[in-house]
Amino acid sequence: MNKDDIQKNSIIVSNGVESSTSPKSEISYMDEISEKDELSNISLKTEKEETKEIEEVKEIAVMEENEETEEEEKYKNILPTFPREVYEDLPEILSKAVAKGISDEDKDILLLGSIVSLSACMSNVSGIYDQREVFPNLFLFVTAKASAGKGRLALCRKLVEPIHKELLEKQRQDMVEYKSALQLFKATSSSSELGKPQEPPQKTLIIPANSSATSVFQILNDNNGVGLIFETEGDTLAHAFKSEYGNYSDGFRKAFHHETISYSRRKDKEFVELDKPKLSAVLSGTPSQVATLIPSAENGLFSRFIFYCMNIKPEWKNVFENCGEENLDLFFEKLGKEFYEFYNRLKSEPVITFSITPEQQAEFNSFFSDTQKKMHCILGDEYLASVRRLGLIAFRIAMILTVLRRKESSEPSAKLVCSDRDFHTAMSIVSVLIEHATFVFNLLPAEKMYDSKGKSNKQLFLDALPKEFNRQDYLKIVENLGIKAKTAEKYLSEFRKAGLILHEGHNKYSKNKNSPFASKITW
């Protein structure tokens, strides 16, 4: 290589400027430039990423805040609780029971659980409803998601356990005597059945839900038609209804109206008719267990139940609060002993008849007439049975409250007339139960699909209407709800016919203030 070649290779043109450098210097210089550019890019990239991350954090925080708000709204007053006036003047034993409630919902389920449990222990009390004799017995289903607090319903069982245990002890003694007599009979008699001891009846109050149909009916028959099914897992009864041997759903429905239940006993080839069964039931379970037990409202089982839905709250409860006080089990056991004394006094009296006053009858008929119009307008024929049986449920609750007042009085009476305070307490309770029943009805798998709040478009539209509105107002509402204008006009026409909406004048409407739902219940 000559001198010119070496010089030529040593000349580097960079940015139009000639530089004389070695190949090694050239590489170092280029590496330095590349490194600076890379560091600059990294710096810019880091700043952009930090900005992006900050924005993402802010966005996530807003989303979480919105989710928390939505969650709070979801669990806040989804369904109403009983108004405060219900608790202002209850019979003494119910006041004591609900005093242990830790929330409005907890008080409600303790009240309902107590009322329904005690309804099984008033078999000598009856009233005339729709020209038929009816007894106090009720069916209750408390539903909620797991861990919502429905388990406290089990405390209400302790109110009737002294009665149940007394019957069991009597049965045990009778069985011992029977076995002894049977052993003696076999040892001293010939093959003749003459004079053979008869097996004693199976005396008990609380009937296991997983019993066979024949067993349930036989226990009822042995107890003069009286019984209580108390299960904290509703699917126990559902599985019994689905089994071949345990399907007593038909008898269950008949018992609500005290209709005769017929069954046969294979052992003795005996045909038995159980007249005027007096069965009560307290169940609890998750919404899916309700659907398992009652897949459709068509078979009539749905309309016979009181439903109460608990709203689960994502809050931790202080499980050590009031631990120094008397525990709830002991407290309710004492209440049970207290009721046991009253029960013995009550059953020693002759038949007691219950009635409501003419003024109460007028108020009762007016309320349920308006309720039926509203619910028929919104839910159609399928819900009519529920409204009508809720009327009977209201009458029975008033009966139970009136009977429990007797505990506070030492004067026996063959006739009980409902006081205004107990009548209005019963009506206030049922006015809330109507909404709970509607919620469950709308969620049954065999019914139409509704929104997450368990409401149809028709209900949502009625809810959203203000006290006074015009066509422009309701068209904006239906646009937000995704309802067609023609459909809304059809709904509005039906609301007017049902008396829910009043046409005040040209393009002027208002909700009917005289409707029982106008001020008490938000649908």
Mean pLDDT of the 354-372 span: 95
pLDDT confidence band for 37 (50 / 70 / 90): low
Query: Using one digit for the tens of pLDDT, what is the confidence trace for 132-154?
Result: 999 999 999 999 877 666 788 99
d(CA 495, CA 511): 9
pLDDT computed for residue 21 by the predictor: 44
pLDDT computed for residue 515 by the predictor: 54
pLDDT confidence band for 514 (50 / 70 / 90): low
Is the distance from CB of 393 to CB of 434 less than 8 angstroms?
no
CA distances 321 to 151, 324, 374, Å, are 18, 8, 44
Q: What is the mean pLDDT of the chain?
A: 81
pLDDT confidence band for 23 (50 / 70 / 90): very low
Query: 309-327 burial, b for 16+ CB within 10 Å, e for fewer?
Result: bbbbbeeeeeeeeeeeeee
Mean pLDDT of the 440-455 span: 61
Query: Using one digit for the tens of pLDDT, what is the confidence trace for 78-127?
Result: 789 999 999 999 999 999 999 999 889 999 999 999 999 999 999 999 99
**Tokens at 302, concatenated:** 């749905």
Q: Among 4-13, 14-23, 466-475, which range has the highest average pLDDT? A: 466-475
The residue among 508 and 41 whose pLDDT is bigger is 508
Please, which residues have CB within 8 angstroms of residue 148's CB and are 6 or more apart in sequence? 310, 311, 312, 313
Mean pLDDT of the 489-507 span: 84
pLDDT computed for residue 47 by the predictor: 58
In terms of DSSP bridges, do strands 139-143 and 305-309 run parallel, antiparallel, or are they unpaired? parallel
Sign of CA dihedral 117, 121, 126, 130: positive
Residue 16 pLDDT exceeds 50 = no
pLDDT computed for residue 74 by the predictor: 40
Mean pLDDT of the 398-427 span: 91
Mean pLDDT of the 12-20 span: 41
Question: Among the listed ranges 42-56, 179-193, 294-308, which one has the minimum average pLDDT value?
Answer: 42-56
Q: Among 45-49, 264-268, 448-452, 464-468, which range has the highest average pLDDT? A: 464-468
Percent of the chain clearing pLDDT 90 (strictly above) = 39
Mean pLDDT of the 444-466 span: 67
Nearest 10 degrees: CA dihedral of 451, 457, 458, 463? Answer: 70
pLDDT confidence band for 449 (50 / 70 / 90): very low
- Report helix, strand or coil for 343: helix
DSSP state of 71: H
Residue type, 213: A
**Could you give the strand order of the β-sheet that contains 132-134, starting from the edge strand earlier in sequence?**
132-134, 125-129, 352-355, 415-417
pLDDT computed for residue 277 by the predictor: 94
| 358-379 helix and 420-443 helix, angle to the nearest 10 degrees | 10
The span from the first CA to the last CA of the chain, in angstroms, equals 101
pLDDT confidence band for 310 (50 / 70 / 90): confident
**Beta-carbon count within 10 A of 87 CB:** 18
Please, which residues have CB within 8 angstroms of residue 287's CB and are 6 or more apart in sequence? 143, 144, 145, 309, 440, 443
**Tokens at 276, concatenated:** 């005027």
pLDDT confidence band for 268 (50 / 70 / 90): low
pLDDT confidence band for 68 (50 / 70 / 90): very low
- Report helix, strand or coil for 194: coil
Nearest 10 degrees: CA dihedral of 402, 406, 409, 414? Answer: 100
Mean pLDDT of the 224-244 span: 83
Angle at 331 between CA 330 and CA 336, to 5 degrees: 90
Residue 17 pLDDT exceeds 80 = no
pLDDT computed for residue 489 by the predictor: 85
Residue 523 pLDDT exceeds 50 = no
pLDDT computed for residue 214 by the predictor: 84
Is 406 buried (19+), middle (13-18) or exposed (0-12) by CB count in 10 A? buried
pLDDT confidence band for 519 (50 / 70 / 90): very low
pLDDT computed for residue 431 by the predictor: 94
Question: Among the listed ranges 157-171, 211-225, 485-499, which one has the minimum average pLDDT value?
Answer: 485-499
Residue 304 pLDDT exceeds 70 = yes
pLDDT computed for residue 345 by the predictor: 92
pLDDT computed for residue 78 by the predictor: 74
Question: Among the listed ranges 101-105, 377-381, 465-469, which one has the minimum average pLDDT value?
Answer: 377-381
pLDDT computed for residue 288 by the predictor: 81
pLDDT confidence band for 432 (50 / 70 / 90): very high
- pTM score: 0.76
